[in-house]
Amino acid sequence: MSRAFNFCAGPAALPEPVLAQAQADLMDWQGKGLSVMEMSHRSDEFVSIAQRAERTLRELMGISDDYAVLFMQGGASTQFATIPLNLLGGHDCADYVNTGIWSKKAIAEAKRYTRVNVVASTEADNFTRCPDQSELKLNPEAGYVHYTPNETIGGLEYDYIPDVGDVPLVADLSSTILSRPQDINRFGLIYAGAQKNIGPAGLTLVLVRRDLMGRTRPELPTMMDYSVADKHDSMYNTPPTFAWYLAGLVFDWVQQQGGVQAMGELNRRKAERLYGAIDSSDFYGNPIQPRFRSWMNVPFTLADERLNSAFLAGAEERGLLSLQGHRSVGGMRASIYNAMPEAGVEALVAYMETFEKEKA
Ligand code: PMP
C-alpha cells in the first residue's frame, strides 16, 4: 500500500494512525461484534465514545465549563445562519470583518436576519492582508462581532485575536482549529466544519459560552438551537456518529503528538519551509503580506500560468495530490493541516525545485 500526500483543503488528509485504528475497529469495535457506524447513538458504547471525544477536546483546547461543546451538523455554512438566529436576541445589528470569500459568505447569510456593519474590509488590498486592530470600527451596540481567523481560499490568517470589548467575539475556525494554541476565553463562540483538522465531513463543532444561550429569535429551528443541542448532549436527533467517533480518534492523536503546542511548532516549521521555497524563487509567488500568511493554506502561483497543468500533472505522478487552487482564484494551493507530515512538505518543495529547473 502506498499513501499519497494529499494537499486538499477539505475534506483533507487524516492522520494515518487514525485511519488504521478505524480500519481495525470497523468490523468489530472492542469485541462488541459491530462497527461504530451500526451502533445506537443512545447505547452506552456510543455515549462513552462521544463523551471521551468531548473530554479530550476540552483538555486539548483548554475549554472550561463556561462553554458548551456542541457536535452539530450542516457544516460551517449552516452556522452562518445559526449564529445570528441564536445570538442576536434584542440586538438589531451585528459587526462583521471582511477578509475574503468565507467572510463574505457569512456576511451575506447574516444579512437575511439582521443589519450587518462591515467594520473593516481589506478588499481594496485584494485581501492580501488582515486589518489591524486600529482599523476595526466596532459598534458597542452590536449583538456580536464575527471574523474569519483563517481564510482557507485566500491563504490569509490573523496573527492576533481582535479586542472587541464586552461584545461577544465569534470566530470561524474551520481551517485553523487545533493548529496552534489559542486562548479560548477570548471568544464568545467558535465554530468549525470538521473536514480539515478534526475528522470527516458531516460534523460541525461549536463552542459557545453558556451565558450567550437564550438570546434566540423565535423563528429559530429547533435543530439549530444551541441550548437544545446542549440540553440533549448534541443528540436531539441522530448525530453523525461515525464522524464523531473519528473526531475522537483525531483528538487522541493530537494529544499523543504533544497537543496543540506541538502542532503549532510543527505547523510553523512546515509553513516556513514552504513559503521559504516560494520566496526564494521568481518562478513561484504568493501575494499575502508575510505577517498574515496562513500556516494551513498556502496559495501560490507560477510566473507562467500556461505551465499550471504540467505542474499539476507532474505533481500527481509523484503522489502529490489536490494542489489545484480554488476554482475562484486559480493557481495552486497546498493545504498543510495537522495531518500533513513534514515529509509531505519536503516532497512538495523538492518537486517545485525540480519543476522550476526543468521549465525555467
Ligand atoms: N468557513 C471556512 C473558513 C471554510 O474553509 C469553509 C470550507 N472550506 C467553510 C466555512 C464552509 O464549510 P462547510 O463546507 O463545512 O459548510
The reply to whether ligand 1 has any atom less than 6 angstroms from the CB of 117 is no
Whole-number Å distance, alpha carbon 78 to ligand 1 midpoint, is 10
Phi, psi of 276 (to 5 degrees): -60, -45
DSSP letters for 320-340:
EE--BPPTTT-SEEEE--TTS
Answer whether 148 contacts ligand 1 (Cβ < 6 A): yes
Residue 121: count other Cβ atoms within 10 Å of its Cβ: 18
102: Cβ below 6 Å to ligand 1? yes
Among candidate residues 95, 104, 172, 244, the one labeled active-site is: 172
Do residues 57 and 182 touch, judged by C-beta distance below 8 A? no
Task: Report the pLDDT value the prediction gives residue 84, as an integer from 0 to 100.
Answer: 97
What integer pLDDT is reported at residue 241 of this predicted model? 98
Task: Among 7, 72, 77, 99, name the best residue to mutate to test ligand 1's pocket (greatest count of ligand atoms within 8 A of Cβ).
Answer: 77
Per-residue pLDDT 10s for the chain (360 aa) are 689 999 999 999 999 999 999 999 999 999 999 999 999 999 999 999 999 999 999 999 999 999 999 999 999 999 999 999 999 999 999 999 999 999 999 999 999 999 999 999 999 999 999 999 999 999 999 999 999 999 999 999 999 999 999 999 999 999 999 999 999 999 999 999 999 999 999 999 999 999 999 899 888 999 999 999 999 999 999 999 999 999 999 999 999 999 999 999 999 999 999 999 999 999 999 999 999 999 999 999 999 999 999 999 999 999 999 999 988 888 999 999 999 999 999 999 999 999 999 998
Number of the ligand 1 atom closest to the C-alpha atom of 77: 16
Read off the C-alpha cell for 177: 482549529
Length of the chain: 360
Name the residue of 8, 175, 191 whose CB sits within 8 Å of the most ligand 1 atoms, as the mutation to test its pocket.
175
- The pLDDT value recorded for residue 235 is 98
* CA 158 to each of CA 29, 151, 228, 243: distance values in angstroms, whole numbers, following the listed order: 41, 9, 32, 29
Q: Whose CA is nearest to atom 10 of ligand 1?
A: 76
Looking at residue 217, its pLDDT comes to 87
Name 177's Cβ contacts closer than 8 Å, sequence gap at least 6. Answer: 190, 192, 196, 197, 198, 205
State yes or no: 128 annotated in a binding site: no
- CA 152 to ligand 1 centroid distance, Å: 8
Kindly list the domain boundaries of the chain, sorted by start residue. 24-256, 259-359
Number of Cβ atoms within 10 Å of the Cβ of 322: 20
Q: Please tell me if the CB atom of residue 324 comes closer than 6 angstroms to any atom of ligand 1.
A: no
Closest residue by CA, ligand 1 atom 12 = 76
Q: Is 58 exposed, middle or buried (0-12, 13-18, 19+ CB in 10 A)?
A: middle
For 39, the grid coordinates are: 451502533
The CA-atom distances, in angstroms, between 172 and each of 40, 54, 241, 304 are: 31, 19, 23, 34
Contact 172 CB / ligand 1 (< 6 Å): yes
In this structure, which amino acid lies at residue 200? P
φ/ψ of 59, rounded to 5, equals: -65, -45
pLDDT score recorded for residue 208: 98
Q: Is residue 294 classed exposed, middle or buried when 0-12, 13-18 and 19+ CB atoms within 10 A define those classes? A: buried
- pLDDT reported for residue 328: 81
Residues forming beta bridges with residue 92, ordered by sequence position: none
φ/ψ (deg, to 5) at 121: -145, 140
**Cα angle for residues 124, 127, 132 (degrees, 5° grid):** 85
Any binding-site annotation on 152? yes
Q: Report d(CA 178, CA 339) in Å as an integer.
A: 11
102 is catalytic: yes
Atom of ligand 1 nearest to the CA of 78: 16
The predicted pLDDT at position 218 comes to 87
pLDDT of residue 288: 97
* Cα distance between residue 351 and residue 182, in whole Å: 33
**Per-residue pLDDT at 113:** 95
pLDDT of residue 329: 82
CB of 76 within 6 A of ligand 1: the answer is yes
Q: Grid coordinates 445570538 are at which residue?
A: 87
196 is catalytic: yes
- What are 206-243's pLDDT values in tens digits? 999 999 998 998 889 999 999 999 999 999 999 999 99
The DSSP code for 293 is: B
The amino acid at residue 134 is S
| Residue 172 assigned to a binding site | yes
Q: How far apart are the first and last CA of the chain?
A: 35
CATH pick for 24-256 out of 3.50.50.60, 3.40.640.10, 3.90.1150.10, 3.40.190.10:
3.40.640.10
Q: Give the contacts of 280 (CB within 8 A, at least 6 positions apart).
A: none
Query: Is 0.95 exceeded by the ipTM?
Result: yes
297: enclosing H helix or E strand: strand 297-302
**CA 151 to ligand 1 centroid distance, Å:** 9
Regarding the beta carbon of 77 and ligand 1, being less than 6 Å apart is answered yes
How far, in Å, from the CA of 303 to the mean position of ligand 1?
29
Into which CATH architecture does domain 259-359 fall? Alpha-Beta Complex (3.90)
